[in-house]
Structure 1
């Protein structure tokens, strides 16, 4: 790989670490005296999300002079490590920003207030993500309120397509179309016998940007509506067979080992090593840092026309142990953050799809001056997306599946064996869970 490209990858690796959707950092603020509302969130210290959040907190307290706010923040991993310890010790924040996939974990620990009564005075149709949050709870309760949403689209590098003379993707693309184009785009640019540009990035540890939507598009599922693991199916086998063909037979996508060797999955598109990838909305940030002229279209259609759209809704939650007064203040903060003004300011950092529908449907969001200049595919996907199989042991059961799937995609084990083991291990994780009393 040329030295210039290696240098570019190193810079982008640092950028991805700082802008990953769920990974950010920060410090804390003290609000001295009185009854203080403690607000927790994850963000990069001094980064756009941290700065914007602090500015919004200041705006909120000016509008609500009777409420003082203490901020608790750290990068993603540290924030949740600390939070779980705080919950065990009864010292968690009164209100915090939860990764959408973790809401049911905290609800299952009996740590969250049901926000259904608080939200009764709102028109919930004005906000994205409400139905996905409710779906995660067996009783359809609202244990969280949307903060920002992520849906998935097909990203493509316009310059690579133009140079190769390949027509750009469209909303009508199937997986056959995706693979055919990926093969044409895969090239050895310097004649050293090694691939320099791959047509598509198929594998990623971020499975919402890899195998999960493919399984759904091919007609399969991961967690069925009855709460049982459903990954072991003919439809899933077809999806993983397609991935292995793209990576190992057609060599139009790097396999898992090569992906890691090239700089990890989220570096490949912004560094120009792959022409296409499945990406959540936040990947626009890293593509921009790589100065990629990015286009986005809906995910390709599977055999029966499904796209496998998925979404994650990061959300505000209120500590069940918070006093009534603090819970009321926390709800005021949540309503404030969901308003048009704060949502417009949050939209400006490009971290998430606004959950306020009016803001998300504005020209400022849908047709910005920076790539991608058409962001409607994210909204269309969000309108039809399923959730990520949420339950209180989401982290455990998805880790069990990922272990086996990675083995199959690396061809260390067969697909049939991987899916059988994945289903058994993931179901065992679910069956071991006992909700807190």
Structure 2
């Protein structure tokens, strides 16, 4: 990660939140000298991720006979719905896999154990993204599990058929727009292209308005993660670029068309769009669709920035664990982060390995499947910044995202959307701050 930027500031300290003490947990110690460790993770039952995780758990059990491992898993939405209930009821797993953007939410509510002393046992430079889960006071609230960073996906066959040079890392947003116009095809002149050059809209923001705003010189929230700053001329310029892209004379499907065409993450995989911002996990759908594709880094915006952002999922340890359970949880984290398990996990194609030795080896960079330019993801992660995580991240980002979607749909102006989005987001943060006084 790029440590030159002061923006990577963690909220648990920034909001000056006192830790809460929770009683009880899912694991325990028995009289025979073994420790019961409950591991929680999200994955669809029977999926490749679920199967691989179960295999890794079995290997961990065999290597650690003094640890009795129990597993709790569920699909993403169900997992976190249940987890929040478990945390409130003091019966959450001892260690769980957290979406990277949610770590600070649990930390700010006193639900996580500080892993700083454990991390002193390792060389943190051997791993990607550790600092993303550390606050200003040095508390480490999670340890990386897998990393993501958006890049520009492009359909190589479409570029070749159109006689266009493939994108490069030197591209700007102007270059992107120029090529996207050439790649937009309306064969029957009915005003509805069969192929669009680019996907600009998505209800999410990791692969749309967040990096766009940053590339145009705007910021969503300040360094303290307490002051929303999205309402700016730079943000407005970024959204004007996006709305022009989806306009009548544009090169991207509008909101209605995007939603009617199915999942936004399938548009590149089914070759409805020739280019799309996407995290590494989007490779899976493109491979399943047999798309001839590759990736380059995000284009450079008027600010001279690419707007690159990082999402690093993490293993977090329950604040209610005993020392023995926490020790066992750290053993699991160290095991999962080691080279062999990381190599096995990398083969799934779901995330970028956080073990640098694996990420920089042929296990990742030399994989036989597309994309060939996997180095683009690693380069993006080195320069990436966080996503403004704090205790109410889900709430405040939704307030902004809903307004931006309304603007992209033509239901409000960009200026009004940014103003209302900032106000709503700020209110959610202020409510939380007030509740801690």
**Residue 181 in structure 1 maps to residue 161 in structure 2:** no
Shift of 1:158: 0.9
Q: Is the 8 A contact 1:110 1:436 kept in 2?
A: no
Distance 2:319 2:273 in 1: 46
Deviations 1:357-393 (A, max 9, x none): 1100112211321111120000000001001110010
Q: Deviation digits for residues 283-328 of structure 1, max 9, x if unmatched? A: 0001111111111000000113210000100000000001111111
Residue number in structure 1 paired with 2:378: 379
Residue 251 of structure 1: how far off its partner (Å): 2.1
Q: CA deviation at 1:55?
A: 0.6
Residue in 2 that maps onto 1:320: 319
State the distance in 2 between where 1:144 and 1:375 align: 26
| SS of residue matched to 2:363 | helix
Partner of 1:110, secondary structure, is: coil
Whether the aligned pair in 2 keeps the contact of 1:189 and 1:197 (CA below 8 Å) is no
Checking the alignment, whether the CA contact within 8 Å between 1:188 and 1:197 is kept in structure 2 is: yes
In the alignment, what sits opposite 1:145?
143
- Residue 107 of structure 2 corresponds to residue 103 of structure 1: no
Return the alpha-carbon distance in structure 2 between the equivalents of residues 410 and 338 of structure 1.
43
Q: Distance in 1 between matches of 2:188 and 2:367?
A: 36
SS across alignment from 2:152:
strand
**Are residues 1:335 and 2:334 paired?**
yes
CA distance 1:216–1:321, change in 2 (3 Å): same
In the alignment, the residues of structure 1 paired with residue 382 and residue 132 of structure 2 have an alpha-carbon distance, to the nearest angstrom, of 10
Once the two structures are superposed, residues 168-218 of structure 1 have per-residue CA deviations (whole angstroms, 9 ceiling, x without a partner) of 111111000100100000002456553100000001122010010000000
- Per-residue CA deviations over 1:308-350 (Å, capped at 9, x if unaligned) read 0001000000000011111110010001111011101100101
Q: Which residue of 2 aligns with 1:18?
A: none
Give the 3 Å change call, closer, same or farther, for CA 204–291 of structure 1 in structure 2.
same
Check the 8 A contact 1:209/1:279 in 2, yes or no.
yes
For 1:13-412, list aligned pairs within 5 A: 35-134=35-134, 137-189=135-187, 193-227=191-225, 228-412=227-411
Distance 1:416 1:374 in 2: 38
Q: Tell me, in whole angstroms, the C-alpha distance in 2 between the residues paired with 1:297 and 1:250.
A: 26
Whether 2:414 is the aligned partner of 1:418: answer no
Take 1:193 and 1:215, find their aligned partners in 2: how far apart are those partners?
29
DSSP 3-state at the match of 2:247: helix
Counterparts of 2:290 and 2:188 in 1: how far apart (Å)? 22
* Aligned partner of residue 245 in structure 1, secondary structure: helix
8 Å CA contact 2:204, 2:401 repeated in 1: no
Partner Cα separation in structure 1 for residue 308 and residue 50 of structure 2: 29
Residues 217 and 193 (structure 1), Cα distance of their counterparts in 2 relative to 1, 3 Å cut: closer
| Structure 1 position 35, deviation (Å) | 3.9
Q: Distance in 1 between matches of 2:292 and 2:335?
A: 35
Give 1:47 shift: 0.8
Change (3 A) 1:140 1:412: farther
Q: Secondary structure at the match of 1:284?
A: helix
Q: What's the offset of the Cα at 1:140? A: 3.8
Residues 393 and 429 in structure 1, CA contact (< 8 A), matched pair in contact too: yes
How many corresponding residue pairs?
405
SS at match of 1:344: helix
Can you list the C-alpha shifts for 1:258-284, whole angstroms capped at 9, x where unaligned?
A: 100111311110000000000001000
Alpha-carbon distance in structure 1 between the residues aligned to 2:269 and 2:64: 42
Q: 2:224 & 2:318 partners in 1: Cα distance? A: 28
Contact 1:368 1:374 in 2 (8 A): no
Tell me if structure 1 keeps the 8 A contact 2:151–2:377. yes
Q: Which runs of 5+ in 2 are unaligned?
A: 1-29
SS in 2 for 1:97: strand
In the alignment, is the contact (CA less than 8 A) between 1:215 and 1:236 conserved in 2? yes
Find runs of 4+ consecutive structure 1 residues off by over 2 angstroms: 32-35, 137-140, 189-194, 434-437
